[in-house]
Amino acid sequence: MCSNFRKDFKFFNEYPDLIYFDNAATTQKPDIVLERMVKYYESENANPLRGVYDLSVKATDAYENARERTAKFIGAESASEIIFTRNATESLNLIARSYGETFLKEGDEVVLTVMEHHSNLLPWQEAAGKTGAKLVFLTPDMTGAISDEEIEKKITEKTKIVSIAHISNVLGRRNQVEKIIKAAHNVGAVAVIDGAQAVPHTKVNVRELDADFYVFSGHKMLAPMGIGVVYGKKNLLNNMPPFLTGGEMIEYVELSSATYAEVPHKFEAGTVNVGGAVGLHAAMDYIENLGFDYIEETELRLTKMMFEGMKSLPYINIVGSDRFEEHNGIITFTIDDVHPHDSASILNEAKICVRAGHHCAQPLMKFLGLNSTLRASLYFYNTEEEVDRFLDSLTKVRGWLGYGA
């Protein structure tokens, strides 16, 4: 069944022997996404939002239809709660700069976890440094689980913002986001969720979560690079200053002053990425036609197969939970006596793509007592045959460097 879906991707036709296990970094793009982008640039290309001529209106419609589609995809109440950015990193910077630096003050606390991607750490370091706020960190156990006691202890009356990943990009651990959001709201704090590793793999409804802000990137969910999303509750967005200023985000400009456009355009200065937006629209259509039930079932089956195969190899050390179902398609590991970069290079010779390094999560690596790891991450288009080849290749890595099995 998976092989049928692989026919939807020119990439897999181009590289039939390549095993791509770096989906947590970025996914491959189905033909329908590429074709929709080409169609836009071939027959709809104009500067949107600025012209009254037909072609500009067509471009504007394509862009705003993508916004409507995104709102529906994540269960937002209104398309005006959707802001397009370049990626999840820019989305988190927008929130930290526009909301955080505006409303934080000395003595306030911003709660994060030690598992955060640098994109959800550095912007808050900057905001805290500028406002005098303090960063507080939820500390997990070695599997990535955050206890109820830790949540109760760290989220207090001083907390003004809580910003956490929905799913860890290293451990694959799904955080108790519903519980953490509720704890934040109980003390009057705002909850920010980094959904970059969640939205491609599981159905997300921001209203059911009651998230105040939710961010994700298109390129991790079959869409092109260069398009990201901020969801924000309308009342919060209305009270935030612009992140960038310039063309299109204004209502009226004089030499010494300006008034800004309504949300969401207030946050989208300059010429926007319509090609990326229509690609995201097509990717969401593809994912929903496929169905999250199928995606989750396939990833769980492949994760189980990979996890159990790796556990049978005594020189493989899996980082995080000892339960495959808690990895959500992400398995981070080390190989005894072999540096992760060497391991990745050896696997590359077998045409297997995995990530090696700190995965933009150096504080987590330090917490775990590691400098670097390997990460294999799955998506619905991966196959059991690929997992078998991967496991077989793992048995040969140490031999390449002269170690016995």
Question: Which sequence positions are flagged as catalytic?
Answer: 360
| Residues 6 or more apart in contact with residue 61 via CB below 8 angstroms | none
> Integer distance in angstroms from the first to the last C-alpha of the chain?
35
Q: How far is CA 210 from CA 83, 123, 213, 337, 350, in A?
A: 18, 23, 9, 46, 45
Residue 217 DSSP one-character state: E
Tally of CB atoms within 10 A around 191: 23
Question: How many CA atoms within 13 Å lie on the side-chain side of 200?
Answer: 32
Residue type present at position 136: V
Residue 261 DSSP one-character state: P
What is the three-class DSSP state of 271?
coil
Contact 127, 110 (CB under 8 A): yes
Which H/E stretch holds residue 262?
Answer: none
d(CA 80, CA 220): 23
Q: Which of 308, 311, 344, 307 is nearest to 327 (CA)?
A: 307
Question: In three state form, how does the secondary structure of 74-113 look?
Answer: HCCCCHHHEEEECCHHHHHHHHHHHHHHHHCCCCCEEEEE
Handedness of CA 141, 143, 149, 152 (dihedral sign): positive
